[in-house]
Structure 1
């Protein structure tokens, strides 16, 4: 007798009808089919913890949801309320965006008119092509909406959508920068946090999903077909795609949050303490319990789905949650399961290696084949150029952070600015956050970022201060592109984007975060392109550990012990065949790379 794989969850079209299957601990589950303004309910059969129904005549495009019956006792983690329309946890497309309403959390209030319906679509089955992206190449982090909302060349109807990334104007810009992969901030459907709508704000970033696979109707109005087409267009241009995914929590929030999907079907996916309190290691009200096999199965099914759409890999938001049970385990089952999966084992995996739970900082503790965001790189490179950092720390980060990462190559994702925090331009213009527009009395966001304003907070017409700020930005960028590891640049930082000192722009879906293409600093953009060309054309394996290298003082002599603790700078001499490449990091005079053609952060001179 052979063991057959379990039938898939979600909606699976077949010649004799579409099979709907959902995991639930409810006493009874109904399938709800929508046609125009009518709702037809179909009883589902139970097999273990999976409820299913096969309905003949259901075609692609059919809208559906679920209602679950059972006890309603939140103190016992029971939230069953048949008045709540529930989105399929395996939904791939939905017909509208999620919206907040007090009715979502009130027992007995019907929500069928405000909750999205899932759409039946054909499942993806083709084996994906090999990833284009390779560690060491440039990652370009971007919010698809913010990237294109103000681009004059993109048709108005297409702005803010994933499809706009395939527009020639965007492709040309990405190729100019030498981008190896775009890292897309979440394009799955998310819900605004409860406090935002009363303030007239909405979540601009998307890190508050409700179900993991459903695409955002605003950002990806064409659904899965738009995702596949955009990925293919980028790949044709030599650019890979990495999806930023959230598997640490879902947007149903804490005990006062709405019942939208999991909470009304299978609330056991959320981690709880012994007394039933929701664990909040994600800082968002709930935490997924990846110690449960059903949660890991859902995560792997999601990754396979997007891999079949052609994406190169994934960046995991607050990734330690993946390995909590409850404490972080570097040998957690999910790592082995991903490594053993024939579709996922060759994908790029990137961890944001921290969460807000106990022992949540786990930089360097992920599997050897994973890349990791390196905040020590960010902070220590910033400190050096601010004037209060050690030369030794700078050298360690430039060399690949061997004090953090073991193995045959550096797994460091190097960055000096990201979506979370000051923009690159703002970290040299503002010493303090200015998040007043977020409606939280300037208490949100990082309060102690490594930033400096060159003596004046905010914009200034003083030419000396403006020149000093430009020099700082260029030095930071040159350091980024001349460091071992994988560089990451956030969209717009290549041409001086500003958020006017807001270092937590998650709630600003407006001109604060939308890129100003017409007002961009084209000289800085050209400088970044030159840096990227220099990195690509120099015969260096940028992820390998340093060999045949020598650190020297700025005067050319051997580094003395005390010079590592000082902050003047250092010169790195690298043997390249019969040549020597000299990388100089000089706090007073910026960064320069000398080997025939030179690149200099002070003047922007670079190789052609």
Structure 2
């Protein structure tokens, strides 16, 4: 063993794998940089003392070396030497300690200071780099030993058509949970705690979609305002679980804790999907800090402006765009995805601003290298893949345009459902598409209804309770004079802005929340709930709480709407028990042989007739009946047997006054049983709940789920 870290002999090592790989006796370090002139590996003692070791070997643009006696827990970073000429896109600066892009764990916080920046003072474009050492202000990578006992872990493998997604923040989910021990609140262990898992199981969700848990840091402009990046869409390490969500420490223990969380959720039958941000990094634009990629190989990792390489092509609105057209960057992305599947056992990914990953030159390209590599990868192609199908660049809105294998956040679903329940006179034509899996978007390329991830709210925007309480955003706490966040939210406050004691307004708001949720959970496709919407969570009208790591964003377990929770669990239970409500194939609208003329799908006017061409284009129509015949399901069970179910009539009425609807009689039905009505707080109608075909008054702004009754 060396007498001191400075005496360690650096062996040649290997260019693969990238990152830090411990073999039981030594650790191999490998870093890709095409333009570096020299690379220093920097090892740090517990007290922060730094020891630099020059990597002498380079193979295919990978700098590498093996250090005997260095093992798990070792903190390290890199200093990369090369030209500094922002006008040419070169930003090498050995004064800046750089995080290994392949780091498996990260230790330490980012501290705001002028040394974070590669340029001196305000001279952003000056050809002279800043010489101040950034090491005291930036986090370090950690060498990790990976020996988690996965024995007994079984991935739930839930079929897409059976999936119900719960979008949740790893910290905010349990920070206020009274039954989670204080030391575990806001952590991976908190998510795995039986009290939180029991809530997920009682609710009936099958997958959690975690907001970013790749290690991230806060933007300097937030730190200057005394705020932090709460959502986490500011990634620095694509292999490292975010250290602040660990209850056990940041010396590699966060890796073990994350795996234990996954194993516990799997044991409960719940899949883990990660929201991943491969479109940009935490280094921002040309004025941003130098933390990793910018100093390792600026032009190799980022898309630089062709007319001015000192600037970045920004399709993300976050200052930079990773250049996945380049093989080393595409390899980084794929290596990261495979790592999280094979080593961390996650079950899928939701890709933030996925359109940015699919841009070849400028346009979004369905045949881009990104799609090709994902499609052929034997690991990544087998997990759940969800695209946020837009970015902020020209032509970036690509809902319905991703290729097979991919599902998509259906922004058109959100907009249509919000329009309908806010009272906009948009008719029912678009609503019919959204209720039945959006065949207009996903059928032409062979995808199925579950390509549509249906949602009404998400982390970004109003909560569902706020959607029916506020018409104007209340983002003053963000420190941007309420200029941030979406101003056109397709919402309605039920006649009063903000909280009120008026019982009529409060009852209407509660019903409107149930209407939105009933629509979501009774639609064909994959429903996504936003954590807390089932509890009545409010953010006080803040619709862009990305920087609010406090009670504004955390789920309030002390103000649970028990009736609303019971309503959501009831409707999800019905969905789970009813294949006709979660079909795997698109409806055909064809007659079903032997039924006397019923169809697998039919649409009814409140007057009782099936909708005709004029009705479909009537923008004043606010009432529609959706008939689903359980005898016409076009998929088979695992043994090849035809699947059949009860038949249902779902009545939607978004108008402000009662309406008489005519429930269709034979051959459609001999009678109906009320199963769900949003008129009631838990959705359970009073008994008896059986009605005959014919006219029936429907209350304003209401959804009915009626089970079809037939004589033997």
When normalised by structure 1's length, the TM-score is 0.96
More moved, 224-233 vs 336-345: 336-345
SS in 1 for 2:382: coil
1:298 is displaced (CA, Å) by 0.4
Partner of 2:384: 348
Equivalent residue for 2:175, pick from 133, 145, 149: 149
Partner of 1:133: 158
Structure 1: gaps spanning 5 or more residues: none
1:114 is displaced (CA, Å) by 1.6
1:14 and 2:23 correspond: yes
1:333 is displaced (CA, Å) by 1.5
More moved, 293-302 vs 76-85: 76-85
SS in 1 for 2:429: helix
1:47 is displaced (CA, Å) by 1.7
1:211 and 2:242 correspond: no
1:299 is displaced (CA, Å) by 0.5
Partners in 2 of 1:14 and 1:303 — Cα distance?
Answer: 23
Question: Is the contact between residue 93 and residue 295 of structure 2 (CA under 8 Å) also seen in structure 1?
Answer: yes
Partners in 1 of 2:372 and 2:334 — Cα distance?
Answer: 11
SS in 1 for 2:172: helix
Question: Is the contact between residue 15 and residue 58 of structure 2 (CA under 8 Å) also seen in structure 1?
Answer: no
Question: Is the contact between residue 132 and residue 235 of structure 1 (CA under 8 Å) also seen in structure 2?
Answer: no
Partner of 1:270: 302
- Cα offsets for 1:568-590 (capped at 9, x unmatched): 22111111138531111111469
Which of the pair has the greater relative contact order for Cα pairs under 8 Å at 6+ separation?
1
Q: Report matched runs for 1:502-521 at 5 Å.
A: 502-521=542-561
Partners in 2 of 1:53 and 1:315 — Cα distance?
Answer: 35
Taking a change above 3 Å as real, the CA distance of residues 489 and 272 of structure 1, as seen in their structure-2 partners, is same
1:353 is displaced (CA, Å) by 0.3
1:597 is displaced (CA, Å) by 5.5
Partners in 1 of 2:240 and 2:570 — Cα distance?
Answer: 39
Equivalent residue for 1:605, pick from 683, 701, 704: 683
Partner of 1:32: 42
1:595 is displaced (CA, Å) by 5.9
1:400 and 2:437 correspond: yes
1:544 and 2:585 correspond: yes
1:71 is displaced (CA, Å) by 1.6
Partner of 2:333: 299
1:316 and 2:347 correspond: no
Partners in 2 of 1:429 and 1:581 — Cα distance?
Answer: 32
Partners in 1 of 2:82 and 2:612 — Cα distance?
Answer: 72
1:43 and 2:62 correspond: no
Question: Is the contact between residue 109 and residue 137 of structure 2 (CA under 8 Å) also seen in structure 1?
Answer: no
When normalised by structure 2's length, the TM-score is 0.82
More moved, 525-534 vs 109-118: 109-118
More moved, 113-122 vs 344-353: 113-122
Partner of 2:90: 78
Partners in 2 of 1:235 and 1:546 — Cα distance?
Answer: 33
Partner of 1:481: 521
Q: Report matched runs for 1:329-340 at 5 Å.
A: 329-340=365-376
Partners in 2 of 1:15 and 1:599 — Cα distance?
Answer: 60
Q: Report matched runs for 1:141-540 at 5 Å.
A: 141-220=167-246, 221=249, 222-267=253-298, 268-275=300-307, 276=309, 277-308=311-342, 309-326=344-361, 327-388=363-424, 389-406=426-443, 407-410=446-449, 411-540=451-580
The total of aligned residue pairs comes to 604
Question: Is the contact between residue 599 and residue 605 of structure 1 (CA under 8 Å) also seen in structure 2?
Answer: yes
Partners in 2 of 1:543 and 1:460 — Cα distance?
Answer: 43
Taking a change above 3 Å as real, the CA distance of residues 36 and 605 of structure 1, as seen in their structure-2 partners, is closer
Partner of 1:557: 609
Taking a change above 3 Å as real, the CA distance of residues 192 and 252 of structure 1, as seen in their structure-2 partners, is same
Question: Is the contact between residue 129 and residue 310 of structure 1 (CA under 8 Å) also seen in structure 2?
Answer: no
Structure 2: gaps spanning 5 or more residues: 1-13, 121-129, 589-599, 632-644, 664-668, 687-712
- Cα offsets for 1:520-551 (capped at 9, x unmatched): 11110110000100100013243421241111
1:383 is displaced (CA, Å) by 0.7
Partners in 2 of 1:10 and 1:191 — Cα distance?
Answer: 20
Question: Is the contact between residue 29 and residue 66 of structure 1 (CA under 8 Å) also seen in structure 2?
Answer: yes
SS in 1 for 2:160: coil
Partner of 2:692: none
Equivalent residue for 2:107, pick from 95, 104, 114: 95
Question: Is the contact between residue 97 and residue 216 of structure 1 (CA under 8 Å) also seen in structure 2?
Answer: no
More moved, 359-368 vs 596-605: 596-605
Partners in 2 of 1:193 and 1:353 — Cα distance?
Answer: 25
SS in 2 for 1:183: strand
- Cα offsets for 1:335-383 (capped at 9, x unmatched): 2211222211210000000000111111111121211001110011111
C-alpha RMSD of matched pairs (Å): 2.2
Question: Is the contact between residue 398 and residue 483 of structure 1 (CA under 8 Å) also seen in structure 2?
Answer: yes
1:131 is displaced (CA, Å) by 5.5
1:123 is displaced (CA, Å) by 5.4
Partner of 1:52: 64
SS in 2 for 1:210: strand
Taking a change above 3 Å as real, the CA distance of residues 48 and 423 of structure 1, as seen in their structure-2 partners, is same
Question: Is the contact between residue 567 and residue 587 of structure 1 (CA under 8 Å) also seen in structure 2?
Answer: no
- Cα offsets for 1:134-182 (capped at 9, x unmatched): 3232100000111111111111111111111111110110001111100
Taking a change above 3 Å as real, the CA distance of residues 232 and 39 of structure 1, as seen in their structure-2 partners, is same
Partners in 2 of 1:363 and 1:595 — Cα distance?
Answer: 37
Question: Is the contact between residue 414 and residue 488 of structure 1 (CA under 8 Å) also seen in structure 2?
Answer: yes
